[in-house]
Structure 1
Amino acid sequence: MQRRRLLGSALAGAALATTAAVPARAGGRRVRTGIEVLADDDFAELAGQKVGIIANPTSVLPDLSHEVDRMHAGGKVDIAAVFGPEHGFRGVSQAGEGEDFFLDPKTGLPVYNAYNNKDQMAALLADTGVETLVFDIQDVGSRFYTYIWTMYLALEAAGQLGLRFVVLDRPNPITGREASGPVLHPEHATFVGLKPIAQRHGMTVGELASLFNGEFVPAPADLHVVKMRGWKRGMHFEETGLPWVAPSPNMPTVATAAAYPGTCLFEATALSEGRGTTKPFELLGAPGIDHAWAEAVQGLPGTRFREAYFTPTFSKWAGKVCGGVELQVTSRRDFDPIRTALAMIIAQRRAYPQYGWRSQDTTSFWLDKLTGNQAVRLAIEADADVDEVTTLWADELDAFSEQRESYLLYRGTA
């Protein structure tokens, strides 16, 4: 009974968190997602197969109906199992948590935990008897967002078991113009980055699946990507005409997603990254920080900073008044989230050196996991400026950008 109350509350919260639909582009056009294209064809891609679906609250059609609910009610798709990523299928869990097995109260379908289970994924899929595995989750365009790594592990397992793998594509909400930032080094692989891609990858989940399958999966899967219609690489999410559903509890808006490739790096520091506030990844600070930090970072391209004070309700510095900044993006075209965040960290460490890195021990630093290398941290510790830091990954980024090019499914940027 308690679980059902929690689930009902989570579903209601997901509905409230959904923004009003953004007006369609000129001429009434909007992007049609992979699930829409699949539904338009009466789900023929999945006919006659036992289907497993990796989904979460973002797995919706534009009318906000959930695709699992729609498929189950329509009877055209034989759904054998549902798999939830981090935060769970219905979105009831916080950061770093999945959900234990349960029967979905709405559909009666079995729901399994697919979060960070590298050693069990193949066995889990084999036990459920699925023949085709579907992935449809809204990504946010950053390497350390864990949904893409759940997709990777599932793709790897599908290849091992000889299953079909179908990706229902969705927009990269912060555009797919280009990749940027450091590329992961294999020795720093964790579930916030398993393979060497750029910190901001500039790809859709369908494109990422193609790259993973072509470059990293030991036994490539039988991969099918149901492409979107009408998406261009230069589109910000608001231009798609689609409704925004928070992909995770601390990703409430598209503005959050725009800042996240950079300000997520504050998870690797002693400062609050804004979890437990209404503006995660846009409010940043700690007790004792004052106006000097905001003054030091004014003038970074595409931004303005407000001196801010806030009290997180959970996570770092919960219940403590923090001083710091609110990051506002004034021009997404001019805004470089990774460069901006590194400039902020450098300025913070110079003005408030008492706040250092978050680490598990003296040799394991969270910043190395997030940037995918230790060179960024060592350069900052050596008092390098932001120009010196951002040149460190230039060659590796060029190589990744070249590799990425052959897996792009959408070419127009306008």
Structure 2
Amino acid sequence: MSYIRTGAERLATDPALAGGARLGLITNPTGVLPDLTPTADALLAAGAPLTALFGPEHGVRGTAQASFSEPDTVDVRTGLPVVDTYKAAGEALDELVARSGVDTLVFDIADVGARFYTYVWSMYDLLASAARLGLRFVVLDRPNPLGGTVAEGPLLDPAFASFVGRFPLPLRHGRTVGELAVLFGFDVDLHVVRMEGWRREQAFADTGLPWVMPSVNMPTPATALVYPGTGLFEGTNFSEGRGTTRPFELIGAPYVDDGFAPALSALGLPGVRFRETWFTPAFHKHAGIQVRGVQLHVHDEAEFRPVLTGLSMLHVARTLYADHLVWRGPELFMDHLWGSDTLSRCLDAGEDPRELCPDPAHPDGPLLYG
């Protein structure tokens, strides 16, 4: 196992890498050094001119559920003001950033490698603000927990851009946050503090870094691994396991019968097995109701294809439970998750959505690591 120095660790050792006289740190609980010291604490101890914290979805402390954040406050540990940026964009976000008085924004949040995870879109919107306001933007790079050799799924159609996807990326994008910041192409004073020692083929377990939950429903690296596929069930009336200890690994609904698990197992999907199970979500969809479904057990991370798996599960669910399955959700959420309306139209027609999934590819565009 090789030792990886994250961008945060490098900056804590040499705060001059950030430049700027008034730094604003965009962070959450994943913003830590390998010894679990919060990046904000480490930067202050190193004498960095940190003057404000900015929070994404779930908040700086990570206490809020999906689609919520924490309000503006003062951080009790550092005494720094905390600015809630979630769902702010354009002029409203510019006003928040300008009011903070920072001259440099520093991004230190771990991504999970899926297009519809919102942290990279907070980075995107803040990059846009930095460009408009003439600020410097620094990304403290971290590993993609899914590795960096495989991209899966179609590109987002810009007509379906939203806060779960603002730029044409595949569902599993295969890039680090630093690589994404470069790819987005804003006319901004951008600096990526690169990792040292990371290789694209590394699984998260090979990095030696601690896993800190990126959000309340992302408890383990195994959750992140399945999320680009089973996250699509958020756009249906199936439970995606929220309200259980295994979100996105448990998938089920009250109308599922004993045919679901065998039908999935019969597909012989690479790297994964399905176990029939029952669970009762404590909150979210079907809260307090026992549902039947499956748990995904990934036995070969290198061979596992989360997007193909998620589409295959949707196809089986549509075939077996056409009278019960609803897949659009509020405000056509499935279309935003998928990045176009091709998936919902395919399901409407009773067709096999796996035809929509191109063969896995290597990420293209500017890459910072070989």
- Residue 290 (str. 1) matches residue 262 (str. 2): no
Alignment partner for residue 85 of structure 1, among 56, 67, 84?
56
SS at match of 2:153: strand
- Contact 1:84/1:113 (CA < 8 Å) preserved in 2? yes
How far did 1:104 drift? 0.8
Give the partner amino acid of 1:324: G
- Residue 408 (str. 1) matches residue 370 (str. 2): no
- Aligned identity (percent) is 51
CA distance in structure 1 between the aligned counterparts of 2:64 and 2:355, rounded to whole angstroms: 39
Counterpart of 1:97?
A: 68
CA distance in structure 2 between the aligned counterparts of 1:250 and 1:142, rounded to whole angstroms: 14
Counterpart of 1:269?
A: 236
- Contact 2:154/2:356 (CA < 8 Å) preserved in 1? no
- Residue 385 (str. 1) matches residue 352 (str. 2): yes
How far did 1:389 drift? 2.9
* Deviation readout 1:1-20 (Å, 9 max, x if unpaired): xxxxxxxxxxxxxxxxxxxx
- Residue 368 (str. 1) matches residue 335 (str. 2): yes
Distance 1:128 1:387, change over 3 A: closer
Q: How does 1:282-361 map to 2 (within 5 A)?
A: 282-298=249-265, 299-353=268-322, 354-360=324-330
SS at match of 1:182: coil
Larger helix share, 1 or 2 = 1
- Contact 2:162/2:336 (CA < 8 Å) preserved in 1? yes
Query: What residue ranges of structure 1 are gaps of 5+ in the alignment?
Result: 1-24
- Contact 2:136/2:189 (CA < 8 Å) preserved in 1? yes
Structure-1-length-normalised TM-score? 0.86
Q: How does 1:232-247 map to 2 (within 5 A)?
A: 232-247=199-214
Alignment partner for residue 79 of structure 2, among 105, 108, 131?
108
Q: How does 1:11-410 map to 2 (within 5 A)?
A: 25=1, 29-41=2-14, 43-46=15-18, 49-72=21-44, 74=45, 76-119=47-90, 120-212=92-184, 214=185, 217=186, 220-298=187-265, 299-353=268-322, 354-360=324-330, 364-391=331-358, 405-410=364-369
- Contact 2:251/2:294 (CA < 8 Å) preserved in 1? yes
How far did 1:183 drift? 1.0
- Contact 1:302/1:329 (CA < 8 Å) preserved in 2? yes
How far did 1:97 drift? 0.7
How far did 1:194 drift? 1.2
Aligned length: 366
SS at match of 2:259: helix
Q: How large is the RMSD of aligned CA atoms in angstroms? A: 1.5
Query: What residue ranges of structure 2 are gaps of 5+ in the alignment?
Result: none
CA distance in structure 2 between the aligned counterparts of 1:278 and 1:313, rounded to whole angstroms: 10
How far did 1:386 drift? 4.5
* Deviation readout 1:98-155 (Å, 9 max, x if unpaired): 1111011111110010112013111111111111110000000000000000000110
- Contact 2:25/2:50 (CA < 8 Å) preserved in 1? yes
- Contact 1:380/1:389 (CA < 8 Å) preserved in 2? no
SS at match of 1:96: coil
- Contact 2:334/2:344 (CA < 8 Å) preserved in 1? yes
